[in-house]
């Protein structure tokens, strides 16, 4: 491996969904569910028929499906560890992407036209069928110090790894 100027590992944190956003979402879902149940009780007292029960069950199932969808797309907390040997991304769900430097084909950073960094993406050398070249991507809102992450990657990467900078959204 080529020499790198990074002597120790650095850890960068992706905090996931903030507590404020999580609480506002939970309160909103509880409020919508309470509204559905209030409408169901109100309608049931005035129109005692099966359509009220059926529509209430359908509405609650819709809300449950929406909650499931939110769980799927919610940002998961993660850490990225940059060391002289490799780059490791670990998520709280247990997913680990360990990329030794010799397996990284290129790293791409993207900027807005004003020079603000948008994101950093790591691409691996495809070594087996079905493996994707894009190993991971992090964006400005995903990680607490995206500029520090980019600098640590630049310092640690060997000469064989290609660094690509790109201005987007022009």
pLDDT tens track for 50-86? 888 889 999 999 999 999 999 999 888 999 999 999 9
Residues 131 and 86 in one domain: yes
**Residue 59 sits in the same domain as residue 85:** no
User: pLDDT band at 169, cuts 50/70/90?
Assistant: confident
Residue 117 structural domain: 78-167
Q: What is the mean pLDDT of residues 131-146?
A: 92
Q: Using the predicted structure, report yes or no on whether residue 3 has a pLDDT greater than 60.
A: no
Same domain, 47 and 96: no
Is 9 domain-assigned?
no
- The answer to whether residues 122 and 154 belong to one domain is yes
Ramachandran class of 130: left when φ > 0, alpha when ψ lies in -120 to 50, beta otherwise: left
Residue 95: inside a domain = yes
On whether residue 111 sits in a domain, the answer given is yes
Does pLDDT of 170 surpass 70?
Answer: no
**Same domain membership, residue 86 and residue 134:** yes
Q: 111 and 45: one domain? A: no
Sheet order of strands, 10-14 included: 10-14, 78-82, 86-91, 96-100
Query: Is residue 7 pLDDT above 80, yes or no?
Result: no
At residue 22 the predicted structure's pLDDT band, cuts being 50, 70 and 90, is very high
Pick the last residue of a domain from 45, 73, 101: 73
pTM: 0.75
**What are the CA-CA distances from residue 142 to residues 71, 137, 151, 154 (Å)?**
17, 9, 17, 19
Residue 161, CB-side half-sphere exposure with 13 Å CA sphere:
26
Determine the Cα–Cα distance for residues 141 and 64; give it in Å rounded to an integer.
27
Number of domains in the chain: 2
- Claim to verify: residue 68 and residue 108 sit in the same structural domain: no
Answer yes or no: is 57 within a domain: yes
Give the H or E element holding residue 89.
strand 86-91
For residue 5, pLDDT over 80 is answered with no
Q: How confident is the model at residue 160 (pLDDT cuts 50, 70, 90)?
A: confident
* 90 & 158 share domain: yes
Q: How large is the average pLDDT for residues 120-148? A: 92
Quote the pLDDT of residue 2. Answer: 45
- Verify that 61 and 140 share a domain, yes or no: no
Mark whether 82 and 156 lie in a shared domain: yes
Tell me which H or E stretch contains 169: none
Q: Is 5 inside a domain boundary?
A: no
Residue 97 above 90 pLDDT? yes
Do 83 and 98 share a domain, yes or no? Answer: yes
Higher per-residue confidence, 33 vs 48: 33
Supply the pLDDT for residue 147.
93
């Amino acid at each position: 491996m080529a020499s790198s100027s990074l002597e120790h590992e650095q850890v960068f944190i992706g905090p996931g969904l903030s507590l404020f956003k999580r609480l506002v979402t939970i309160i909103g879902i509880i409020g919508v569910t309470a509204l559905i149940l209030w409408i169901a009780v109100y309608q049931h007292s005035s129109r005692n028929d099966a359509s009220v029960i059926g529509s209430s069950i359908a509405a609650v199932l819709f809300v449950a499906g929406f909650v499931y969808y939110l769980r799927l797309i919610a940002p998961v907390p993660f850490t990225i560890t940059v060391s002289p040997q490799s780059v490791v991304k670990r998520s709280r769900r247990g997913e680990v992407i360990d990329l030794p430097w010799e397996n990284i084909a290129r790293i791409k950073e993207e900027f807005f036209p004003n020079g603000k960094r948008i994101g950093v993406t790591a691409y691996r050398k495809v070594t087996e069928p079905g493996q994707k070249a894009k190993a991971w991507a992090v964006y400005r809102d995903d990680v607490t110090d995206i500029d520090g992450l980019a600098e640590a990657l630049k310092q640690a990467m060997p000469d064989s790894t290609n660094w690509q900078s790109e201005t987007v959204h022009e």
